[in-house]
Structure 1
Amino acid sequence: MDWIKYTVDYGIIGLLILMSIVVLAIVIERLMVYRNLRLDEFKDKRKLELELTGNLHLIGTVGRNAPYLGLLGTVLGIMLTFYDMGASGRMDAGQIMVGLSLALKVTAAGLLVAIPAVTAYNLLQRRVKVLVTNWEIRHG
Protein backbone atom coordinates (compact mmCIF):
# COMPACT_ATOMS: atom_id res chain seq x y z
CA MET A 1 0.00 0.00 0.00
CA ASP A 2 3.01 2.31 -0.12
CA TRP A 3 2.04 3.20 -3.66
CA ILE A 4 -0.98 5.08 -2.26
CA LYS A 5 1.31 7.30 -0.18
CA TYR A 6 3.39 8.12 -3.26
CA THR A 7 0.25 8.62 -5.33
CA VAL A 8 -1.07 11.11 -2.80
CA ASP A 9 2.26 12.85 -2.18
CA TYR A 10 3.54 13.08 -5.73
CA GLY A 11 0.61 12.31 -7.99
CA ILE A 12 -2.26 14.30 -6.56
CA ILE A 13 -0.25 17.18 -5.12
CA GLY A 14 1.81 17.28 -8.32
CA LEU A 15 -1.37 17.46 -10.36
CA LEU A 16 -2.67 20.27 -8.16
CA ILE A 17 0.60 22.18 -8.65
CA LEU A 18 0.33 21.67 -12.41
CA MET A 19 -3.27 22.91 -12.34
CA SER A 20 -2.24 26.07 -10.45
CA ILE A 21 0.53 26.76 -12.98
CA VAL A 22 -1.95 26.37 -15.84
CA VAL A 23 -4.38 28.76 -14.16
CA LEU A 24 -1.64 31.33 -13.59
CA ALA A 25 -0.52 31.10 -17.22
CA ILE A 26 -4.07 31.54 -18.50
CA VAL A 27 -4.71 34.50 -16.19
CA ILE A 28 -1.56 36.23 -17.43
CA GLU A 29 -2.47 35.48 -21.05
CA ARG A 30 -6.02 36.79 -20.61
CA LEU A 31 -4.84 39.98 -18.91
CA MET A 32 -2.46 40.62 -21.79
CA VAL A 33 -5.27 40.05 -24.31
CA TYR A 34 -7.58 42.43 -22.46
CA ARG A 35 -4.89 45.10 -22.20
CA ASN A 36 -4.06 44.98 -25.92
CA LEU A 37 -7.66 44.60 -27.14
CA ARG A 38 -9.07 47.24 -29.48
CA LEU A 39 -12.85 47.21 -29.16
CA ASP A 40 -13.30 49.16 -32.40
CA GLU A 41 -11.80 46.27 -34.38
CA PHE A 42 -14.83 44.09 -33.64
CA LYS A 43 -17.97 44.60 -35.68
CA ASP A 44 -19.76 41.55 -34.29
CA LYS A 45 -20.50 41.21 -30.58
CA ARG A 46 -20.30 37.41 -30.72
CA LYS A 47 -16.77 37.50 -32.13
CA LEU A 48 -15.77 39.91 -29.36
CA GLU A 49 -17.23 37.60 -26.72
CA LEU A 50 -15.39 34.62 -28.22
CA GLU A 51 -12.12 36.54 -28.06
CA LEU A 52 -12.73 37.69 -24.50
CA THR A 53 -13.80 34.36 -23.04
CA GLY A 54 -11.10 32.18 -24.59
CA ASN A 55 -9.70 29.67 -22.06
CA LEU A 56 -11.76 31.07 -19.16
CA HIS A 57 -13.56 27.73 -18.96
CA LEU A 58 -10.26 26.07 -18.00
CA ILE A 59 -9.87 28.39 -15.00
CA GLY A 60 -13.43 27.64 -13.93
CA THR A 61 -12.88 23.92 -14.35
CA VAL A 62 -9.78 23.97 -12.17
CA GLY A 63 -11.55 26.07 -9.54
CA ARG A 64 -14.47 23.70 -9.39
CA ASN A 65 -12.50 20.45 -9.44
CA ALA A 66 -9.39 21.14 -7.34
CA PRO A 67 -11.29 20.62 -4.04
CA TYR A 68 -12.52 17.25 -5.30
CA LEU A 69 -9.01 16.23 -6.22
CA GLY A 70 -7.92 17.26 -2.71
CA LEU A 71 -10.80 15.24 -1.30
CA LEU A 72 -9.66 12.21 -3.30
CA GLY A 73 -6.22 12.57 -1.74
CA THR A 74 -7.83 12.83 1.69
CA VAL A 75 -9.82 9.65 1.19
CA LEU A 76 -6.73 7.80 -0.06
CA GLY A 77 -4.69 9.07 2.90
CA ILE A 78 -7.32 7.95 5.39
CA MET A 79 -7.60 4.57 3.65
CA LEU A 80 -3.84 4.18 3.94
CA THR A 81 -3.93 5.06 7.62
CA PHE A 82 -6.63 2.48 8.36
CA TYR A 83 -4.84 -0.14 6.28
CA ASP A 84 -1.59 0.43 8.16
CA MET A 85 -3.42 0.23 11.49
CA GLY A 86 -5.11 -3.02 10.50
CA ALA A 87 -1.96 -4.56 9.07
CA SER A 88 0.14 -3.77 12.13
CA GLY A 89 -2.51 -5.05 14.54
CA ARG A 90 -1.98 -2.15 16.92
CA MET A 91 -3.08 1.44 17.21
CA ASP A 92 -0.17 3.80 17.50
CA ALA A 93 -1.35 7.39 17.96
CA GLY A 94 1.74 8.77 16.22
CA GLN A 95 1.15 6.59 13.17
CA ILE A 96 -2.49 7.66 13.02
CA MET A 97 -1.59 11.34 13.25
CA VAL A 98 1.01 11.05 10.48
CA GLY A 99 -1.54 9.38 8.20
CA LEU A 100 -4.22 11.94 8.93
CA SER A 101 -1.83 14.84 8.43
CA LEU A 102 -0.96 13.43 5.00
CA ALA A 103 -4.65 13.30 4.19
CA LEU A 104 -5.33 16.83 5.39
CA LYS A 105 -2.29 18.16 3.54
CA VAL A 106 -3.90 17.19 0.25
CA THR A 107 -7.21 18.79 1.22
CA ALA A 108 -5.40 22.04 1.99
CA ALA A 109 -3.53 21.88 -1.31
CA GLY A 110 -6.81 21.44 -3.19
CA LEU A 111 -8.28 24.47 -1.49
CA LEU A 112 -5.13 26.52 -2.09
CA VAL A 113 -5.52 25.87 -5.79
CA ALA A 114 -9.30 26.29 -5.95
CA ILE A 115 -9.75 29.55 -4.07
CA PRO A 116 -7.42 31.68 -6.23
CA ALA A 117 -8.72 29.97 -9.40
CA VAL A 118 -12.35 30.80 -8.59
CA THR A 119 -11.39 34.34 -7.61
CA ALA A 120 -9.45 34.84 -10.85
CA TYR A 121 -12.33 33.38 -12.86
CA ASN A 122 -14.83 35.77 -11.28
CA LEU A 123 -12.57 38.79 -11.75
CA LEU A 124 -11.92 37.93 -15.40
CA GLN A 125 -15.62 37.32 -16.02
CA ARG A 126 -16.30 40.77 -14.60
CA ARG A 127 -13.68 42.27 -16.93
CA VAL A 128 -15.34 40.53 -19.88
CA LYS A 129 -18.70 41.98 -18.91
CA VAL A 130 -17.23 45.49 -18.66
CA LEU A 131 -15.54 45.21 -22.06
CA VAL A 132 -18.69 43.87 -23.73
CA THR A 133 -20.76 46.65 -22.15
CA ASN A 134 -18.28 49.27 -23.39
CA TRP A 135 -18.51 47.75 -26.88
CA GLU A 136 -22.32 47.89 -26.73
CA ILE A 137 -22.23 51.55 -25.67
CA ARG A 138 -19.98 52.39 -28.64
CA HIS A 139 -21.88 50.31 -31.20
CA GLY A 140 -25.43 50.74 -29.99
Structure 2
Amino acid sequence: MELLKLYLDHAVLGILGLMSFVMLALVIERYIYFIRVKLENFQHIELLKVTLTRNLTTISSVGSNAPYIGLLGTVLGILVTFYEMGQGGKIDVNSIMVGLAMALKATAAGLVVAIPAMLFYNGLLRKVDVLVGRWTALQDGVKA
Protein backbone atom coordinates (compact mmCIF):
# COMPACT_ATOMS: atom_id res chain seq x y z
CA MET A 1 0.00 0.00 0.00
CA GLU A 2 2.93 2.31 0.72
CA LEU A 3 4.22 1.82 -2.84
CA LEU A 4 0.81 2.75 -4.21
CA LYS A 5 0.73 5.85 -2.04
CA LEU A 6 4.18 6.97 -3.18
CA TYR A 7 3.81 6.42 -6.92
CA LEU A 8 0.07 6.74 -7.65
CA ASP A 9 0.14 10.40 -8.68
CA HIS A 10 3.26 9.95 -10.77
CA ALA A 11 1.88 6.89 -12.52
CA VAL A 12 -1.55 8.34 -13.32
CA LEU A 13 -0.25 11.74 -14.37
CA GLY A 14 2.55 10.09 -16.34
CA ILE A 15 0.13 7.90 -18.27
CA LEU A 16 -2.14 10.87 -18.95
CA GLY A 17 0.87 12.94 -20.01
CA LEU A 18 1.97 10.23 -22.42
CA MET A 19 -1.55 9.95 -23.82
CA SER A 20 -1.67 13.71 -24.27
CA PHE A 21 1.71 13.78 -26.01
CA VAL A 22 0.74 10.99 -28.41
CA MET A 23 -2.60 12.65 -29.14
CA LEU A 24 -1.01 16.03 -29.87
CA ALA A 25 1.66 14.47 -32.09
CA LEU A 26 -0.98 12.65 -34.13
CA VAL A 27 -3.18 15.75 -34.38
CA ILE A 28 -0.27 17.81 -35.70
CA GLU A 29 0.66 15.03 -38.13
CA ARG A 30 -2.92 14.88 -39.45
CA TYR A 31 -3.25 18.64 -39.93
CA ILE A 32 0.07 18.78 -41.79
CA TYR A 33 -1.01 15.84 -43.95
CA PHE A 34 -4.36 17.47 -44.72
CA ILE A 35 -2.59 20.63 -45.87
CA ARG A 36 -0.26 18.68 -48.18
CA VAL A 37 -2.57 15.96 -49.51
CA LYS A 38 -3.00 15.84 -53.29
CA LEU A 39 -6.58 14.72 -53.87
CA GLU A 40 -5.99 14.16 -57.59
CA ASN A 41 -3.57 11.31 -56.77
CA PHE A 42 -6.41 9.12 -55.45
CA GLN A 43 -8.36 6.95 -57.86
CA HIS A 44 -10.91 5.50 -55.44
CA ILE A 45 -12.85 7.17 -52.66
CA GLU A 46 -12.35 4.33 -50.19
CA LEU A 47 -8.56 4.55 -50.52
CA LEU A 48 -8.84 8.28 -49.90
CA LYS A 49 -10.98 7.75 -46.80
CA VAL A 50 -8.58 5.15 -45.40
CA THR A 51 -5.66 7.51 -45.88
CA LEU A 52 -7.45 10.55 -44.47
CA THR A 53 -8.72 8.77 -41.34
CA ARG A 54 -5.37 7.22 -40.42
CA ASN A 55 -4.55 7.83 -36.71
CA LEU A 56 -8.01 9.23 -35.93
CA THR A 57 -8.91 6.08 -33.98
CA THR A 58 -5.98 6.66 -31.63
CA ILE A 59 -6.98 10.29 -31.07
CA SER A 60 -10.54 9.20 -30.33
CA SER A 61 -9.32 6.45 -28.00
CA VAL A 62 -7.29 8.96 -26.00
CA GLY A 63 -10.34 11.19 -25.71
CA SER A 64 -12.63 8.43 -24.59
CA ASN A 65 -10.22 6.64 -22.23
CA ALA A 66 -8.42 9.51 -20.48
CA PRO A 67 -11.34 10.10 -18.08
CA TYR A 68 -11.21 6.43 -17.09
CA ILE A 69 -7.50 6.64 -16.33
CA GLY A 70 -8.21 9.71 -14.20
CA LEU A 71 -11.11 7.96 -12.49
CA LEU A 72 -8.91 4.97 -11.72
CA GLY A 73 -6.39 7.31 -10.11
CA THR A 74 -9.16 8.90 -8.06
CA VAL A 75 -10.53 5.57 -6.88
CA LEU A 76 -7.07 4.35 -5.91
CA GLY A 77 -6.36 7.65 -4.15
CA ILE A 78 -9.57 7.31 -2.14
CA LEU A 79 -8.66 3.70 -1.36
CA VAL A 80 -5.29 4.83 0.01
CA THR A 81 -6.97 7.57 2.06
CA PHE A 82 -9.46 5.13 3.61
CA TYR A 83 -6.71 2.59 4.25
CA GLU A 84 -4.68 5.20 6.13
CA MET A 85 -7.76 6.19 8.12
CA GLY A 86 -8.29 2.58 9.11
CA GLN A 87 -4.66 2.10 10.11
CA GLY A 88 -4.45 5.29 12.17
CA GLY A 89 -7.30 4.51 14.50
CA LYS A 90 -8.35 8.15 14.71
CA ILE A 91 -10.33 10.19 12.25
CA ASP A 92 -8.79 13.54 11.34
CA VAL A 93 -11.12 15.48 9.06
CA ASN A 94 -8.31 17.65 7.69
CA SER A 95 -6.21 14.70 6.52
CA ILE A 96 -9.27 13.02 5.01
CA MET A 97 -10.18 16.12 3.02
CA VAL A 98 -6.61 16.61 1.82
CA GLY A 99 -6.43 12.96 0.74
CA LEU A 100 -9.73 13.18 -1.13
CA ALA A 101 -8.81 16.47 -2.77
CA MET A 102 -5.52 15.00 -3.95
CA ALA A 103 -7.34 11.96 -5.29
CA LEU A 104 -9.75 14.11 -7.30
CA LYS A 105 -6.94 15.81 -9.20
CA ALA A 106 -6.53 12.61 -11.21
CA THR A 107 -10.08 12.89 -12.54
CA ALA A 108 -9.51 16.55 -13.38
CA ALA A 109 -6.32 15.65 -15.25
CA GLY A 110 -8.16 12.97 -17.20
CA LEU A 111 -10.75 15.51 -18.28
CA VAL A 112 -8.06 18.02 -19.23
CA VAL A 113 -6.65 15.42 -21.63
CA ALA A 114 -10.00 14.11 -22.91
CA ILE A 115 -11.77 17.35 -23.78
CA PRO A 116 -9.17 18.70 -26.24
CA ALA A 117 -8.72 15.22 -27.71
CA MET A 118 -12.41 15.00 -28.57
CA LEU A 119 -12.44 18.56 -29.93
CA PHE A 120 -9.47 17.78 -32.18
CA TYR A 121 -11.04 14.48 -33.24
CA ASN A 122 -14.30 16.15 -34.26
CA GLY A 123 -12.42 18.91 -36.09
CA LEU A 124 -10.34 16.36 -37.97
CA LEU A 125 -13.45 14.37 -38.92
CA ARG A 126 -14.96 17.54 -40.35
CA LYS A 127 -11.79 18.14 -42.35
CA VAL A 128 -12.00 14.57 -43.69
CA ASP A 129 -15.58 15.23 -44.84
CA VAL A 130 -14.50 18.44 -46.57
CA LEU A 131 -11.62 16.72 -48.36
CA VAL A 132 -13.83 13.83 -49.46
CA GLY A 133 -16.33 16.37 -50.80
CA ARG A 134 -13.58 18.16 -52.73
CA TRP A 135 -12.38 14.83 -54.15
CA THR A 136 -15.92 13.99 -55.27
CA ALA A 137 -16.24 17.39 -56.92
CA LEU A 138 -12.91 16.81 -58.73
CA GLN A 139 -14.18 13.46 -60.00
CA ASP A 140 -17.31 15.16 -61.34
CA GLY A 141 -15.16 17.78 -63.09
CA VAL A 142 -16.26 20.63 -60.86
CA LYS A 143 -13.60 23.16 -59.88
CA ALA A 144 -13.69 24.71 -56.41
1:105 aligned partner: 105
> CA offset at residue 95 of structure 1?
1.1
Take 2:8 and 2:86, find their aligned partners in 1: how far apart are those partners? 20
RMSD (Å) for aligned C-alpha atoms:
0.9
Take 2:99 and 2:106, find their aligned partners in 1: how far apart are those partners? 11
- Runs of 4+ in structure 1 displaced over 3 angstroms? none
2:48 aligned partner: 48
2:70 pairs with 1:70: yes
Take 1:90 and 1:131, find their aligned partners in 2: how far apart are those partners? 64
1:93 aligned partner: 93
Residue identity opposite 1:107 in structure 2: T
Take 1:111 and 1:8, find their aligned partners in 2: how far apart are those partners? 18
Q: Give deviations 1:86-129, integer Å, cap 9, x for gaps.
A: 00001111210221012111000000000000110000000001
Which range moved further: 98-107 or 115-124?
98-107
Residue identity opposite 2:12 in structure 1: I
Take 2:5 and 2:14, find their aligned partners in 1: how far apart are those partners? 13
- The unaligned stretches of length 5 or more in structure 2 are none
1:129 aligned partner: 129
Residue identity opposite 2:57 in structure 1: H
Q: Give deviations 1:38-91, integer Å, cap 9, x for gaps.
A: 111111111111110011100000000000111100100111110000000011
Residue identity opposite 1:59 in structure 2: I
Residue identity opposite 1:19 in structure 2: M
Residue identity opposite 2:132 in structure 1: V
Take 1:6 and 1:23, find their aligned partners in 2: how far apart are those partners? 27
SS of 1:79's equivalent?
helix
- The unaligned stretches of length 5 or more in structure 1 are none
Take 1:46 and 1:109, find their aligned partners in 2: how far apart are those partners? 37
- Percent identity between matched residues is 51
1:20 aligned partner: 20
2:61 aligned partner: 61
